[in-house]
């Protein structure tokens, strides 16, 4: 099974411009990342919530966690920036869990 990750960042709207500069410095994802989709939404007083849906090739889950975390590490050095890394299941794989 290919692994799908959701790396979520929350940050204050006032930090958006400086964080955009960090995005420019992130570099390219590893070759085993098949697809990377990015979405964001405003979440009111909390600022901005940024979703990164990352599809990786089978067998690279451990490597992906390390590399994705390294890519986003500079964001976490900024005040009031929070992050969460989730592993997502497709509906088909979720049904396999249920039996």
User: Residue 51 maps to which CATH number?
Assistant: 3.30.70.100
Cα 71 from Cα 73, distance rounded (Å): 6
pTM of the model: 0.84
Instruction: Give the three-state DSSP class for 33.
Output: strand
pLDDT tens digits, one per residue of 70-85: 999 998 888 889 999 9
Q: Is the pLDDT of residue 5 over 90?
A: yes
Query: What is the number of domains present in the chain?
Result: 1
Q: What are phi and psi of 79, to 5 degrees?
A: -60, 140
pLDDT at residue 1, as a whole number: 60
Containing domain of residue 34, as a range?
3-98
Residue whose C-alpha is closest to residue 33's, from 68, 4, 57: 57
Q: pLDDT band for position 94 (50/70/90)?
A: confident
pLDDT tens digits, one per residue of 11-61: 998 888 888 888 888 888 999 999 999 999 987 777 899 999 999 998 998
């Amino acid at each position: 099974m290919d692994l799908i990750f959701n790396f979520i960042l929350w940050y204050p709207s006032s930090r958006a411009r400086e964080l955009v500069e960090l995005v420019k410095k992130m570099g390219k994802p590893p070759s085993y990342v098949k697809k990377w989709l990015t979405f964001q939404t405003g979440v009111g007083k909390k600022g901005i919530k940024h979703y990164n849906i990352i599809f990786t090739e089978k067998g690279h889950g451990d490597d992906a966690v390390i590399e994705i975390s390294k890519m986003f590490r500079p964001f976490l050095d900024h005040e009031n920036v929070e992050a969460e890394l989730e592993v997502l299941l497709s509906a088909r794989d979720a049904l396999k869990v249920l039996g």
